[in-house]
A and B are shown apart, each in its own frame.
Chain A
Amino acid sequence: MHPLLEDKLGKKMVMLGNEAIARGALEAGVAFTSAYPGTPSSEIALQFFQISQETDLYFEYSANEKVALEISAGAAQCGLKTMVTMKHVGVNVASDALMTLAYTGVKGALVLVSADDPFMFSSQNEQDNRYYGKLSALPILEPSTVHEAKEMAKYAFELSHELQEPVILRTTTRINHSSGVVTLGPMAERITKGKFKKDPFNLVCVPAVSRKLHAKLLENYEKARAIGNQSEWNLLEGQGSFGIICNGVSYTYVKDVLQEMDAPDKFRILRIGLSHPLPDQIITDFLKQCEKVLVVEEGEPYMEEGVKAIAQEAGLTLPIAGKGENLFSRLYEYNPVMVKKVIGTYFGVPYQDTKPIDVSDLPEIPQRPPNLCPGCPHRATYVAVREVLGDNAIYPTDIGCYTLGLLPPLRMGDFLIAMGASVGTAGGFARATDDKVVAFIGDSTFFHSGIPPLVNAVYNNHNFTLIILDNGTTAMTGHQPHPGAEVSHINLPLNPVSIEEVVKGIGVKKVVTVNPLRFKKTVEAIKEVTSYEGVSVLIARAYCPLFERTLPHGKKWRPFYVDLKKCKKHRVCITKIACPAFYIENDNVYIDETRCTGCMLCAQLCPENAILPLKKEVA
């Protein structure tokens, strides 16, 4: 049985924030779930994926976040309790549907998890999705701890059902990827079939209908505000006259700091958990009891702006601050040390400045940025493209493991903004320069948002090569299937879509498929597709080695070694390939046999044929 299905009431379990969210949804009776994976949200979907294989919970990995939201919106219109999970930028993709789904509302319940990523541990930007609350007029809940993530996820279903609106559960990486102790509550019954009642004059958003629905949305917004003003998720603590308004993980930092400052009677805290609409009455009452207020929130001054506006309406003139010089930054994530410093300075409360231990005269450790894994077929494709075109082409790239190809010596990546944008921007680069343009996109990203721009390129006669890096899985986020991925080994009755057929169906005339681990053939194929005038596609297909290991038919190759008698230290293996399995000791190149996957790329490039398979296989 899946551990999250444990039904021992009151049992304590250590969970990742994302597991806690999934558990909360299960306790609320969630019946229908969908997602496109994305750090830091991916493990929520993983739980649903696993649980759907042993229960009647419906889960699907959808082609992209918009589709994921639409699938669940359909089910929610039939009365089901649904949850959709995505990373913050995924909400941009889903937002077209979300903005008007707010107009129609939902019948059962729909909870959209937006996992924001301050500091961009694994993202292209650090946008603050609380503004989606303002944009859509939908309620937002923000947990501060792992246990609360479970409780709030559960409550989000109640709130959604009560308001008949989607509800956004907004987290940050430090919630999603924190672990903590969760106390299990009872599981609600899962109702997996619903009924759709036709109601076109409330559900078909033509202008006449939408004019009426927008007014209804604003009524719901007022209802949500009233709920927020009574909500226990907006916690009040302390009796002092120095006020701190905070949310999410910032609350835990504030708590740690105040415990240490030894001035508990000076402070008063308002932790806002239901952060959209802002609870204006609670905030007004809070402000009235303070002489000075500091807003502690990572990201944008979302609450700060709201609190200042509320103060203005109430005619309150006390100082309210948040972002600014000597205050908090809009950049990156916070930590307890930073929070202590700002609280101490702003309120003029003495504090012990934690000086980090001075490590300046210790040996400098090289930075270790993330890197393509040993045996990664993307590296092989990149080495081959560099061999053919070097720096004489523009390389728009896309979102996935292969983005890491931007690092030297591969240096394959000139422009990256969004999912699918390598294909979209390629035509612009080509038209504006007449340079050779080679765009890269992964298999999962291609299905996510690479198809419309490819249609566009064919229709508008653009001139570039698209290389689809097909490693058979959504690798970066933990090997989730995608519409092109073979899933028969896990007995899923799905119908994988062929990339070749899609590309040819769109009308691309030049389509070549190659195994990038065969270096010479790949070089030939690259020459062929890049000399074609118009849109050409190269599909570079080889499994992600980490994924292949998990497949029943996955092959295990013998690791290689460098024959030092043959090696003449050309260092092609290091300067062109730079696989992390290589290391240099005493001026010799060695291969770490525990890291080498036996992909043979280096063996094909070594001018002395000095890289050979190890005789016996390591365990």
Chain B
Amino acid sequence: MERMNLILCGLGGQGILFMTRILAEAALQKGFDVIGAETHGMAQRGGSVISHLKIGQANSSLVRAGSADILLGLDEKESYRNLGFIKPGGKMYVNAPSETFPVEKVKAFLEEKGVIYRAMPVEETAMELGAPKAANLGLLGLFGAFETEPLGEKDIRETIERISPERFRDLNIKVFETCRKKAV
């Protein structure tokens, strides 16, 4: 792998920054360089939030349009908004019911661009597990179920264990694992 460009998107309060941190820490642990750009402050208040992450050598932190290998969407509509970032043949993991995702027009678009997409209602699962705010960990579970390089299931789980605040650690792992197993 030369470099992997990721876009993580959703709404303020969904834990996009923590999700970014987990991937960045996991990548560093494996010896990769990482660089990212985040949204903080006023923009976070319930608004659209986007986080750029590059794993591997890069100069600038911004992923440009049409060059993201992977898009992780915690919100279905925000994922549609950011479709322009995905490169042809890229991949998309989205928090949405797999039966209804994506809407027809988007489906045609993704198929034309050869984008592989997987959707799962991870927020619902997180809620059932008593952790409505842990959809971000659920989405990483979906990611971890299919991705191996540069980061796979094991790297992510170890990082969640290492950097989660003590009081959320077990629940975070539970949401991650449950979603990952459901996805496989």
Residue positions of A touching B, CB distance < 8 A: 12-14, 16, 39-40, 42-43, 121-122, 145-146, 174, 177-181, 249, 252-253, 255-256, 259, 335-337, 354-357, 359, 361-363, 365-373, 401, 404, 476-477, 580, 594, 618-619
Chain B residues in 8 Å Cβ range of A476: 41-42, 45
Chain A residues in 8 Å Cβ range of B98: none
> Are B40 and A359 neighbours in the complex by a CB distance under 8 Å?
no
> Are B46 and A252 neighbours in the complex by a CB distance under 8 Å?
no
**What mask results when residues 102 to 118 of chain B are scored 1 for a CB within 8 Å of chain A, else 0?**
01011001000100000
Q: Is the interface of A mostly helix, strand, loop or mixed?
A: loop
Chain A residues in 8 Å Cβ range of B133: 594
> Are B36 and A178 neighbours in the complex by a CB distance under 8 Å?
yes
The yes or no answer to B100 lying at the interface (CB within 8 A) is no
Known contacts A336-B64, A354-B66, A476-B41, A178 near B35 by CB under 8 Å: yes
Show 26 A/B contacts (Cβ-Cβ < 8 Å), sorted by A: A14-B21, A121-B42, A122-B42, A177-B40, A178-B38, A179-B24, A179-B34, A179-B35, A179-B38, A180-B36, A252-B60, A253-B59, A253-B60, A357-B86, A362-B106, A362-B109, A363-B80, A363-B105, A369-B47, A370-B12, A370-B45, A370-B46, A373-B46, A594-B127, A594-B132, A619-B130
Chain A residues in 8 Å Cβ range of B127: 594
> Are A373 and B80 neighbours in the complex by a CB distance under 8 Å?
no
Known contacts A180-B36, A181-B33, A181-B34, A362 near B66 by CB under 8 Å: no
Known contacts A356-B84, A370-B46, A181 near B28 by CB under 8 Å: yes
> Are B66 and A355 neighbours in the complex by a CB distance under 8 Å?
yes
Chain A residues in 8 Å Cβ range of B58: 256
Chain A residues in 8 Å Cβ range of B136: none
A337 to B41, CA, bound (A): 26
> Are B45 and A178 neighbours in the complex by a CB distance under 8 Å?
no
> Are A370 and B60 neighbours in the complex by a CB distance under 8 Å?
no
The yes or no answer to B77 lying at the interface (CB within 8 A) is yes
Chain B residues in 8 Å Cβ range of A40: 40-41
A404 to B46, CA, bound (A): 11
A477 to B40, CA, bound (A): 9
A145 to B61, CA, bound (A): 9
> Are B47 and A371 neighbours in the complex by a CB distance under 8 Å?
yes
Chain B residues in 8 Å Cβ range of A249: 60-61
> Are A372 and B60 neighbours in the complex by a CB distance under 8 Å?
no
A43, A253, A366: which has the most chain B beta carbons within 10 Å? A253
Those of B159-180 within 8 Å (CB) of chain A:
none
Out of B45, B59, B67, B86, name the residue touching A373 (CB < 8 Å). B45
Residue positions of B touching A, CB distance < 8 A: 11-13, 20-21, 24-25, 28, 33-48, 58-62, 64-67, 77-78, 80-81, 83-84, 86, 88, 103, 105-106, 109, 113, 127, 130-133
- CB closest residue in chain B, given A367: B48
> Are B40 and A365 neighbours in the complex by a CB distance under 8 Å?
no
- CB closest residue in chain A, given B44: A370
Shortest C-beta distance, B102 to chain A (Å), equals: 10
Known contacts A14-B21, A179-B35, A619-B130, A359 near B46 by CB under 8 Å: no
6 closest Cβ pairs, A-B complex: A39-B41, A122-B41, A356-B65, A252-B60, A370-B47, A370-B45
Chain B residues in 8 Å Cβ range of A252: 59-61
Chain A residues in 8 Å Cβ range of B11: 368
Out of B13, B33, B60, B113, name the residue touching A357 (CB < 8 Å). B113
- CB closest residue in chain A, given B130: A619
A146 to B62, CA, bound (A): 13
Chain B residues in 8 Å Cβ range of A259: 59
A249 to B83, CA, bound (A): 25
Shortest C-beta distance, A539 to chain B (Å), equals: 23
> Are B40 and A256 neighbours in the complex by a CB distance under 8 Å?
no
> Are A404 and B45 neighbours in the complex by a CB distance under 8 Å?
yes
Shortest C-beta distance, A300 to chain B (Å), equals: 21
Shortest C-beta distance, B110 to chain A (Å), equals: 10
Shortest C-beta distance, A185 to chain B (Å), equals: 17
A369 to B39, CA, bound (A): 13
Out of B37, B81, B84, B113, name the residue touching A174 (CB < 8 Å). B37
Shortest C-beta distance, A548 to chain B (Å), equals: 15
- CB closest residue in chain A, given B66: A357
Shortest C-beta distance, B32 to chain A (Å), equals: 9
Chain B residues in 8 Å Cβ range of A178: 35-38, 61
Out of B13, B33, B66, B132, name the residue touching A356 (CB < 8 Å). B66
Out of A43, A359, A365, A370, name the residue touching B42 (CB < 8 Å). A370
Known contacts A122-B42, A365-B77, A476-B41, A359 near B83 by CB under 8 Å: yes
A181 to B26, CA, bound (A): 12
A43, A249, A363, A367: which has the most chain B beta carbons within 10 Å? A363
A619 to B58, CA, bound (A): 42
Known: A174-B62, A477-B41, A594-B127. 5 other contacts (CB 8 A): A12-B28, A356-B84, A357-B66, A362-B109, A363-B105
A259 to B57, CA, bound (A): 12
Chain B residues in 8 Å Cβ range of A335: 62, 64
A284 to B96, CA, bound (A): 58
Chain A residues in 8 Å Cβ range of B37: 174, 177-179
Chain B residues in 8 Å Cβ range of A366: 77
- CB closest residue in chain A, given B126: A594
> Are B28 and A122 neighbours in the complex by a CB distance under 8 Å?
no
Shortest C-beta distance, B76 to chain A (Å), equals: 10
Chain A residues in 8 Å Cβ range of B46: 368, 370-373, 580
A122, A335, A362, A401: which has the most chain B beta carbons within 10 Å? A362
Shortest C-beta distance, A376 to chain B (Å), equals: 9
- CB closest residue in chain A, given B45: A370
> Are A179 and B80 neighbours in the complex by a CB distance under 8 Å?
no
Out of A12, A13, A361, A365, name the residue touching B81 (CB < 8 Å). A365
Chain A residues in 8 Å Cβ range of B61: 174, 178-180, 249, 252
B12, B59, B109: which has the most chain A beta carbons within 10 Å? B59
A369 to B28, CA, bound (A): 34
> Are A357 and B84 neighbours in the complex by a CB distance under 8 Å?
yes
> Are B64 and A337 neighbours in the complex by a CB distance under 8 Å?
yes
Out of B28, B80, B130, B132, name the residue touching A14 (CB < 8 Å). B28
Out of A336, A354, A368, name the residue touching B47 (CB < 8 Å). A368
> Are B80 and A180 neighbours in the complex by a CB distance under 8 Å?
no
A336 to B42, CA, bound (A): 25
A13 to B46, CA, bound (A): 30
